[in-house]
Structure 1
């Protein structure tokens, strides 16, 4: 027979002398908003644009931070593509290219005009100068200038259409420019708007070529 007294045996409900588990103090939230992507931050949104295997965005996607030469090459590759988006750098670099080229062509045409034979007439509406013996340079630059304007009309409209898409606006806002004076100012303001992530609804990756 055991000589241990019943009082020496711990009962089943007797609490342990030390707790087996200790609650860790709660100091910081367990879940936090990831800081690496915020759609309202244009710079971070730009870095979230898709990138192809060559390190460049595919042709259907906007290219944020594109360079001067790359923007113009991309402009011609997307000649009449109205879907997708165009970043502000894509739009304004091309605008600078076209204005610069147009100025150069205009200056050369002016030299040809100065070398041409001219006659001046006084009419009820004012003084008019008529080229009577056009120089070869004047004629050549007249044809070149006309072809240049015809060549950039469609791709320029398409680029403006895509720039509006990048601001999450429908392309037909482009026709605001047909309203004299105020329409052009309103359209300029739209071209200057920040990129909006929601503009991705205009992307057509399946139409890439």
Structure 2
């Protein structure tokens, strides 16, 4: 007995023809959903040697926008080029903030018209802003690393290798540099 299958109009996964909803993404389906054209880009077979990138033209600006857009998502993938370009973009994006925080500290330290209480409050405010900024960047970096590991076909738990002394960061850099795994990747 052969079960006819259609493809979801939202995510492209195969669904039974009698299903009213996609079991993968949950979007409603028309019961008479036709089978897609074989040459459509969503349904072409994946090739193991073709790298995956969400951006058609990965670069510093496009990839950094992507990493901020997906800052709280770990159930996606992030291609190798997008990951490394966004890492560079985050470093470049942080330079003006580091400069501004440094200037603020210098200006606060040379002020003579403020009492110690006012200076202490200003430093606490500055430290709180710096802490919030770096906490946000840490979340963005961690989620990007997990998505990069998913693209290589690895579990996001490999991120914890970063905390192994000496060799952990080196091992994770090697894992982040692995090519995209297209066929058999459970994190599609």
**Structure-2-length-normalised TM-score:** 0.60
Please say which structure displays the higher CA radius of gyration.
1
Secondary structure at the residue paired with 2:71? coil
Deviation at 1:142, TM superposition (A): 3.4
Partner of 2:147: 162
Partner of 2:60: 68
Distance 1:64 1:199 in 2: 23
Secondary structure at the residue paired with 2:75? coil
User: Relative to structure 1, is the Cα distance of residues 99 and 159 closer, same or farther in structure 2, using a 3 angstrom cutoff?
Assistant: same
Partner of 2:129: 144
Q: Which runs of 5+ in 1 are unaligned?
A: 1-36, 50-60, 119-131, 204-209
Pair 1:79-2:71 in alignment: yes
Whether the 8 Å contact between 2:77 and 2:148 is mirrored in structure 1 is yes
User: Relative to structure 1, is the Cα distance of residues 103 and 81 closer, same or farther in structure 2, using a 3 angstrom cutoff?
Assistant: same
Deviation at 1:73, TM superposition (A): 2.0
Deviation at 1:139, TM superposition (A): 6.2
1:13-52 maps to which residues of 2 (within 5 A)? Answer: 39-41=47-49, 45-46=50-51
Whether the 8 Å contact between 2:46 and 2:182 is mirrored in structure 1 is no
Partner of 1:153: 138
User: Relative to structure 1, is the Cα distance of residues 168 and 63 closer, same or farther in structure 2, using a 3 angstrom cutoff?
Assistant: farther
Distance 1:193 1:64 in 2: 19
Q: Deviations for 1:111-165, whole angstroms, at most 9, x for unmatched residues? A: 22223338xxxxxxxxxxxxx6749986665343222112222232111111011
Distance 1:199 1:140 in 2: 49
Q: How many residues get paired?
A: 139
Deviation at 1:86, TM superposition (A): 0.4
Distance 1:139 1:170 in 2: 39
Partner of 1:102: 94
Distance 1:84 1:62 in 2: 10
User: Relative to structure 1, is the Cα distance of residues 90 and 38 closer, same or farther in structure 2, using a 3 angstrom cutoff?
Assistant: closer
Of the three residues 160, 180, 186, the one matched with 1:195 is 180
Partner of 1:184: 169
Secondary structure at the residue paired with 2:186? helix
Distance 2:60 2:93 in 1: 14
**Structure-1-length-normalised TM-score:** 0.55
Q: Which runs of 5+ in 2 are unaligned?
A: 1-44, 111-115
Secondary structure at the residue paired with 1:195? coil
